Amino acid sequence: MSSIASPAAGSRVVVARGPRPQSLTAGRIGLYCFILVTAVYFLAPLYVMLMTSFKSMDEIRLGNIFNLPQHFTLQPWIDAWLHACTGLNCTGISVGFTNSVIITVPSVILSIAAGAINGYALSFWKPRGANVLFAILLLGAFVPYQAFLYPLVRVYSTLGLFNTLTNIITVHIIFGLPVMTLLFRNFYAGIPMELFKAARVDGAGFWRTFFSVMLPMSTPIIIVAVILQATNIWNDFLFGLVFAGRENLPMTVQLNNIVNSTQGERAYNVDMAATILTALVPLAIYFFSGRWFVRGIAAGAVKG
Amino acid sequence: MTEPRRLRNIAAQIALTPAWLIVAFAYVGTVVWTIVISFTSSKSIPSYNFVGWAQYARLFSTDRWYISINNIIIFGVLFLTICLVIGFLLAVALDQKIMFENSYRTVILYPYAMSFVVTGLIWQWMLNPALGIEKTVQALGFPNFSFDWIIRTDMAIYTLVIAGVWQASGLVMALMLAGLRGVDGEIWKAARVDGIPAWRVYLFIIVPILRPMIVTAVVLLSIGVVKAFDLVVALTKGGPGLSTEVPAKFVMDNLFLRANIGLATAASTVMLVTVLAVLVPWFYTEYARRNRGGHA
């Protein structure tokens, strides 16, 4: 995994290496058919979601989910953002959006800081027990979260922190630690040891070497880490559900409450608008980050 | 390098102290605590009245647990197989110097950026029999068309597969494509000289070369299967009936809704042991061997 996690692999321009295409043969036609069919499978849900969100409920009841809206309306989006109901609380998904931002920003920053320091210490300093620490961290990334949940609930309750912002943010830091540590450790493993030794000869200590030599070189991996953590934490459902508390429910949890606990007839157009709104941040990250996102996948490959 | 090694290591040890604390308490400590609770008669709060294997006996006489295991096996096998096959085919297709390569890759991978909750809700709408695909195709002049899997107890589990594959096969594609781009071009020249058809080269030469990527993909997808919770909650809520119940949801329900902490921790211990049984051998062969230490 270290080879695909190496940041250099993703940054060079890649060229298709497959067999050289012949002119238009049966195989070539088959290839494009396959591409067409799969592209429809992957795109259809996004298309349907968008179309549904611009229709009135009357039009939706007519029942062609693939049709373009006859009477284009933005009302479902306004309702989703400002008026959608979670139980008796009809303040829209904007509340969840704010909560998710408040949760995600500090969680991303702090977990990356922790991962960078750990990765640096593990990679260059290798103090006693470093391998044991790293092995447990990695195993921890794979353990089903259900095995951690209940004791954590008890600990946070005892500390009087259960269902607070501190609770959900620290949980994200704790469970982001394995991937972040791995990411930075592998990145620093690719930096020549001579550079580290030169800094040491010049008399720089642990923190000086980190802040003035290593950190300035870490921009690429920090970008990958931000993409990875922002997406993961924004998309989290389980931790938000258990630890965030009613006041801080992240957008994913609120979205599920809006859509799945509605009594009576459901407003599918509002549901779909709310769903797109929830997906918007990770989608924006994906579309703007391009190849960096793929590097994040390869690098964060140990994460479940 | 004048300061003694012991001294310079102190700063590193101090820097790693928070990580050690997290590992000791949040990882090891909580898992041990969970296992301890699973041997008690705890209901809504932990009691330390030890009852041996009673919770495990109860767990394995619970229908709901068997149904959950059965479901996760069906889902897991199908999800894994289809993701790998489609992901590989997509990567191969992308490696054929096709038109619109970048747009195509973007289209395949975008679902992976979205959460399982969003994935579940999109597909819940698509598969809605009253207004979704079924209704649409009927209205197009096929009145007997039926696609109501999401409300059928015998078919609902396959809707999880449809949604899961949609979300995750882009991941396999990305991993495999990275592998394909690393394949030596000489192999293709040699195969052409020998007149070996492309599909045989892919199957018998390329797939073995991609082995590390395949293993990574299998591990990633399997962990996703064991953790499957969000997708189920959003798409089917475990229903209709118990037809899409999964172990992670079984644990969550018993922990937070049904006040069966002893039973829930027993179930999560079983999940943990299963994962470790698969993981530890892989961990040794694939990872620890190649990747020990930062710098040599």
pLDDT value, residue A20: 57
Average pLDDT estimate for B96-124? 90
The overall average pLDDT reported for chain A is 84
CB pairs under 8 A between A and B: 326
**A23-62: pLDDT as tens digits:** 668 778 888 899 999 999 999 999 999 999 998 888 888 8
User: Averaged over A259-281, what is the pLDDT?
Assistant: 86
Cβ distance A297 to B174 less than 8 Å, yes or no, reads yes
Is B16's CB within 8 Å of A121's CB? yes
With cut-offs at 50, 70 and 90, classify the pLDDT of residue A6: very low
- Residues in B closer than 8 angstroms to A4, CB to CB, are 175, 178-179, 212-213, 216
Query: Residue B246 falls within a domain, yes or no?
Result: yes
- Whether B231 and B163 have beta carbons less than 8 Å apart is answered as yes
Q: How confident is the model at residue A110 (pLDDT cuts 50, 70, 90)?
A: very high
Is A28 a member of any domain?
Answer: no
Closest to B178 (Cβ–Cβ): which among A197, A256, A298?
A298
Tell me which of B162 and B181 has the higher pLDDT. Answer: B162
Helix (H, G, I), strand (E, B) or coil at B40: strand
B165 belongs to a structural domain: yes
Is the peptide bond prior to B240 cis by the omega test (within 30 degrees of 0)? yes
Q: Which of chain B's residues have a Cβ under 8 Å away from the Cβ of A66?
A: 136
Mean pLDDT over B20-38 rounds to 90
> pLDDT digit string (tens) for A222-254?
999 999 899 999 999 999 999 998 889 999 999
Sign of CA dihedral A95, A101, A106, A112: positive
CB contacts under 8 A, A 223-262 vs B, are 231, 234-238, 242, 252-253, 255-256, 259-260
Euclidean distance between the first and final Cα of chain A, in Å?
Answer: 15
Residue B26 touches chain A, beta carbons under 8 Å: yes
**Mean pLDDT in residue range B139-162:** 86
Instruction: Look up residue A96 and give its amino acid.
Output: G
Establish if A57 touches chain B: CB-CB under 8 angstroms: no
- Inform me whether the C-beta atom of residue A158 falls under 8 Å from chain B C-beta atoms: no
- Dihedral of CA A195/A197/A203/A206: which sign? positive
For residue A85, is it left (φ>0), alpha (ψ between -120 and 50) or beta? beta
**Sign of the Cα pseudo-torsion (B228, B230, B233, B235, in order):** negative
When divided into structural domains, chain A yields a total of 1
Which residue among A20, A52, A147 sits closest to B34, beta carbon to beta carbon? A147
Query: Does residue A280 sit within a domain?
Result: yes
Q: What is the pLDDT of residues B155-175, one digit of tens each?
A: 999 999 999 999 999 999 998
User: Considering only CB atoms, which chain B residues are within 8 Å of A140?
Assistant: 23, 27
Contacts of B125 in chain A (CB under 8 A): 48-49, 52, 65, 268, 271-272
- Cα–Cα dist A228/A225, whole Å: 5
What's the CATH code of the domain at A203? 1.10.3720.10
Q: Is residue B295 part of a domain?
A: no
- Considering only CB atoms, A146 lies closest to which of B220, B251, B293, namely B251
Residue B78's pLDDT is 96
Residue B277 has pLDDT above 90, yes or no: no
A271 contacts in chain B (CB < 8 Å): 121, 125
Given a cut of 90, whether residue A304 has pLDDT beyond it is no
The pLDDT of residue B235 is 92
Looking up residue B130, the CATH number of its domain turns out to be: 1.10.3720.10
Task: Report the pLDDT value the prediction gives residue A103, as an integer from 0 to 100.
Answer: 94
Q: CA of A60 to nearest chain B CA: how many angstroms apart? A: 7
Q: pLDDT grade, residue A98 (50/70/90)? A: very high
When the pLDDT of each residue in chain B is averaged and rounded to a whole number, the result is 85
Q: Report residue A127 as tokens.
A: 């103090």
Rg of chain B over CA atoms, in angstroms?
24
Tell me if A79 is assigned to some domain. Answer: no
Structural domain harbouring A148: 94-299
Report the helix count and the strand count for chain A, using DSSP H and E: 17, 0
Main-chain phi, psi angles of B50, to 5 degrees: -75, 130
Contact across the interface for A131 and B293, Cβ inside 8 Å: yes
Q: How confident is the model at residue A153 (pLDDT cuts 50, 70, 90)?
A: very high
Mutate to test the interface with B, among A25, A142, A171 (most CBs of B within 10 A): A142
Checking B40-49 for CB contacts under 8 A at 24+ apart, the result is: B40/B262, B41/B262, B42/B261, B42/B262, B42/B265, B43/B259, B43/B260, B43/B261, B43/B262, B44/B259, B44/B261, B45/B261, B46/A150, B46/A154, B46/B261
Number of domains in chain B: 1
Of the residues A52, A126, A146, A285, the best mutation for testing chain B's interface (the one with the most B CB atoms within 10 Å of its CB) is: A146
Residue whose entry in the numeric block shows the structure tokens 């994040």: A296
Question: What's the pTM value of the predicted model, to 2 decimals?
Answer: 0.88
Judge whether residue A132 has pLDDT over 60. Answer: yes
* B286 contact residues in A (CB cutoff 8 A): 1
Residues on chain A touching B68 (C-beta within 8 angstroms): none
| Whole-complex ipTM | 0.87
Query: Between B97, B179, B275, which is nearest A18 by CB?
Result: B97
Find residue B40's DSSP bridge partners: B50
In this prediction, residues B227-239 reach a mean pLDDT of 88
CB contact under 8 A, A34 and B93: yes
Domain membership of residue A304 (yes or no) is: no
CA of B105: which chain A residue's CA is closest?
Answer: A39
**Closest-CA distance of chain A to residue B5, Å:** 10
> Percent of chain B having pLDDT more than 90?
33
Q: What are phi and psi of B40, to 5 degrees?
A: -115, 175
Q: What does the radius of gyration of chain A's CA atoms come to, in whole angstroms?
A: 24
Q: Say whether pLDDT at B282 is over 60.
A: yes
Domain that holds residue B226: 62-288
- At residue A1 the predicted structure's pLDDT band, cuts being 50, 70 and 90, is very low
Query: Chain A neighbours among B 45-104 (CB < 8 Å)?
Result: 46, 86, 89-90, 92-98, 101, 104
